[in-house]
């Protein structure tokens, strides 16, 4: 009687462990799919792939401009902010080009190097842009990214999804997938040993 209870409990434990392993594999597969349709296209679409050194030539704050609507946004999301324009000397080619914060900055407003998030306090936005301008004037040389193919003549300060960020995004689903596979393999080995012991 006790042996039957132990066997039943063992089978239940194996079933739960097998379901856990299959669930982990399924979740990691969904995460792979989600990363593949969201982050990977932005990474592959970016042409600013080569890192070089940029030297600030001028950083000016012009009159306020309006943040243009992005796709799917409403009119109330348009807000005025000071327009910061940073021009740099590209070490790789020696050209004078305009610097943007990220790829998204160029799409949102090609006239400004920095586009702030929508903030109700306009003084805070102005203070932040002035701080950024002073930092550019203080730190004259810094790494930046340019397009080696020449499609885009401007440069960006940082990529939205760098190679390290992409690898980090794939790290967790990979660990979950490996863990799920290990659980399934261990359960199958346990079942095989149990059947072998019973047969002997």
Question: Whole-model pTM above 0.85?
Answer: no
- Helix, strand and coil in the chain, % to nearest 5: 55, 20, 25
**Whether 97 and 137 share a structural domain:** yes
At 197, the pLDDT band (50, 70, 90 cuts) reads confident
Q: Does the residue 123 lie in any domain?
A: yes
* Number of structural domains in the chain: 2
pLDDT value at residue 56: 92
pLDDT value at residue 169: 87
Mean pLDDT of the chain: 82
Q: Bridge-partner residues for 109, per DSSP?
A: none
Tokens of 151: 């499609």
Q: Does the residue 141 lie in any domain?
A: yes
Most confident residue range from 25-29, 34-38, 61-65, 195-199: 25-29
Task: Reply yes or no on whether the pLDDT at 200 is more than 70.
Answer: no
Q: Does the residue 167 lie in any domain?
A: yes
Residue 173 belongs to domain spanning: 163-199
Residues 65, 109 contacting (CB under 8 angstroms): yes
**Whether 168 and 141 share a structural domain:** no
d(CA 97, CA 86): 9
**Whether 143 and 156 share a structural domain:** yes
d(CA 154, CA 149): 12
């Amino acid at each position: 009687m006790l042996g039957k209870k132990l066997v039943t409990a063992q089978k239940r434990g194996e079933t739960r462990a097998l379901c856990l392993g299959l669930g982990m594999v399924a979740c990691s597969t969904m995460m792979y799919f989600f990363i593949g349709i969201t982050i990977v296209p932005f990474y592959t679409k970016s042409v600013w792939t080569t890192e070089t050194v940029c030297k600030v030539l001028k950083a000016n704050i012009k009159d306020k401009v309006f943040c243009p609507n992005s796709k799917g946004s409403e009119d109330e999301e348009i807000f005025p902010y000071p327009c910061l324009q940073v021009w740099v000397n590209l070490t790789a080619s020696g050209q004078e080009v305009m610097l943007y914060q990220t790829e998204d900055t160029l799409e949102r407003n090609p006239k400004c190097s920095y586009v702030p998030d929508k903030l109700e306090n306009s003084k805070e936005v102005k203070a932040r842009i002035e701080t950024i301008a002073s930092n550019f004037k203080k730190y004259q040389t810094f790494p930046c990214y340019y397009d080696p193919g020449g499609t885009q003549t401007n440069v960006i300060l940082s990529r939205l999804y760098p190679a390290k960020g992409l690898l980090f995004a794939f790290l967790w689903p990979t660990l979950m997938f490996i863990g799920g596979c290990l659980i399934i393999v261990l359960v199958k080995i346990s079942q095989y040993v149990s059947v072998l012991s019973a047969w002997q």
